[in-house]
Amino acid sequence: PTTIYLKDYTPFGYLVDSVHLTFDLTPHATRVTSRIAFRPNPNATDRTFFLHGEELTLIRAAIDGGEITPELSDKGLTAITPDAPFIWEAEVEIDPGNNTALEGLYMSNGMYCTQCEAEGFRKITYYPDRPDVMSTFTVRINGDLPVLLSNGNPTAKGEGWAEWTDPWPKPAYLFALVAGDLIAHPGQFTTMSDREVELNLWVRPGDEGKCAFGMEALKKSMKWDEDVYGREYDLDVFNIVAVDDFNMGAMENKGLNIFNSSAVLASPETSTDANFERIEAIIAHEYFHNWTGNRITCRDWFQLCLKEGLTVFRDAQFTSDMRSAPVKRIHDAIDLRSRQFPEDNGPLSHPVRPESFQEINNFYTATVYEKGAEIIGMLKRLVGDEAYAKALDLYFDRHDGQACTIEDWLKVFEDTTDRDLSQFKRWYSQSGTPRIAVAEAWDDGTYTLTLSQRTEPTPGQDDKQPQVIPVAVGLLGPNGDEVRSTEVLELTETEQSFQFTGLAARPVASILRDFSAPVILEQDQTNSERAFLLAHDTDPFNRWQAGRSLAQDTLLRMISDEAAPDADYLDGLLSVLRDGELDPAYRALMLGLPAQSELAATLYERGDTPDPMAIWAAVETLRQATAQHMQDLLPRLHGEAMVDAPYSPDAEQSGKRALGSAALALTSRLDGGAMAADAYANADNMTLQLTALSCLLRARKGEEELAGFYDQWKHDRLVMDKWFGLQVSMASPEATPKTARALTEHPDFNWKNPNRFRAVMGALAMNHAGFHQTDGTGYQLLADWLIRLDPVNPQTTARMCAAFQTWTRYDAGRQDLMRAQLTRIAETPNLSRDTTEMVSRILG
Ligand code: HT7
Ligand code: ZN
DSSP string spanning 669-700? Answer: HHHTTHHHHHHHHH--SHHHHHHHHHHHHHTT
- 211 Cα to the center of ligand 2, angstroms: 22
Exposure class string for 830-843: b at 16+ Cβ within 10 A, else e: ebbebbbbbbebbb
CATH fold for the domain made of 714-844: Zincin-like fold (1.25.50)
- pTM here is 0.99
Choose which residue among 113, 248, 279, 315 to substitute to test ligand 1 binding: the one with the highest number of ligand atoms within 8 A of its C-beta. Answer: 248
Element (H, E) at 381: helix 372-383
- 288 Cα to the center of ligand 1, angstroms: 14
> CB 481: neighbour CB atoms within 10 A?
11
pLDDT confidence tier of residue 776, bands split at 50, 70 and 90: very high
**Residue 105 to residues 128, 175, 753, Cα–Cα distance (Å):** 17, 11, 16
The domain segmentation of the chain, as residue ranges, is 4-264, 297-429, 435-524, 714-844
**Residue 652 to residues 273, 442, 639, Cα–Cα distance (Å):** 11, 43, 15
Equal fold, 4-264 vs 435-524: yes
> CB 2: neighbour CB atoms within 10 A?
6
CA gap 563, 46 in Å, rounded = 68
CA gap 395, 292 in Å, rounded = 10
Largest Cα–Cα separation, the chain: 89
- Please check the confidence at residue 828 and state whether its pLDDT lies above 90: yes
Looking at residue 641, its pLDDT comes to: 85
Reduced to 3 states (helix: H, G, I; strand: E, B; else coil), residue 650 is: coil
Cβ neighbours for 464, distance < 8 A, ≥ 6 positions apart? 430, 432, 454, 455, 456, 457
- Closest protein CA for atom 15 of ligand 1: 308
C-beta of 304 in contact with ligand 1 (< 6 A): no
Nearest atom in ligand 1 to 258's CA: 7
Choose which residue among 114, 129, 251, 287 to substitute to test ligand 1 binding: the one with the highest number of ligand atoms within 8 A of its C-beta. Answer: 251
What does the pLDDT look like over 487-496, one tens digit per residue? 999 999 999 9
C-beta of 324 in contact with ligand 1 (< 6 A): no
CA gap 453, 496 in Å, rounded = 9
**Residue 100 to residues 16, 116, 244, 316, 637, Cα–Cα distance (Å):** 31, 14, 13, 33, 48
C-beta of 285 in contact with ligand 1 (< 6 A): yes
- Please check the confidence at residue 196 and state whether its pLDDT lies above 90: yes
- Please check the confidence at residue 208 and state whether its pLDDT lies above 90: yes
Q: Which residues are catalytic?
A: 286
Looking at residue 104, its pLDDT comes to: 99
C-beta of 89 in contact with ligand 1 (< 6 A): no
Q: What angle do CA 178, 179, 184 make, to 5 degrees?
A: 85
For the beta sheet containing 508-511, the strands, ordered from the edge strand earlier in sequence to the opposite edge, are 482-491, 469-476, 508-511
C-beta of 252 in contact with ligand 1 (< 6 A): yes
Q: What is the mean pLDDT of residues 595-616?
A: 98
- 9 Cα to the center of ligand 2, angstroms: 23
Choose which residue among 102, 117, 129, 797 to substitute to test ligand 1 binding: the one with the highest number of ligand atoms within 8 A of its C-beta. Answer: 117
- Closest protein CA for atom 7 of ligand 1: 248
C-beta of 357 in contact with ligand 1 (< 6 A): no
- Please check the confidence at residue 1 and state whether its pLDDT lies above 90: no
Taking the domain 435-524, which CATH number applies?
Answer: 2.60.40.1840
Query: With pLDDT > 70 as the criterion, what percentage of the chain qualifies?
Result: 100
Looking at residue 515, its pLDDT comes to: 99
Are 99 and 231 in contact, with CB atoms under 8 Å apart? no
- 736 Cα to the center of ligand 1, angstroms: 31
C-beta of 248 in contact with ligand 1 (< 6 A): yes
Looking at residue 782, its pLDDT comes to: 99
Domain range 4-264, CATH class: mainly beta
Looking at residue 392, its pLDDT comes to: 99
- 251 Cα to the center of ligand 1, angstroms: 5
- Please check the confidence at residue 348 and state whether its pLDDT lies above 90: yes
| Ligand approaching nearest to the C-alpha of 251 | 1
Looking at residue 642, its pLDDT comes to: 87
Pick the CATH number of 297-429 from 3.40.50.410, 1.10.390.10, 1.10.10.10, 3.40.50.150: 1.10.390.10
CA gap 331, 327 in Å, rounded = 6
Q: Are strands 446-454 and 435-443 parallel, antiparallel or unpaired?
A: antiparallel
Looking at residue 401, its pLDDT comes to: 98
Mean pLDDT of the chain: 98
- Which amino acid appears at position 370 of this protein? E
Q: What is the mean pLDDT of residues 118-141?
A: 99
Quick check: ipTM above 0.90?
Answer: yes
C-beta of 103 in contact with ligand 1 (< 6 A): no
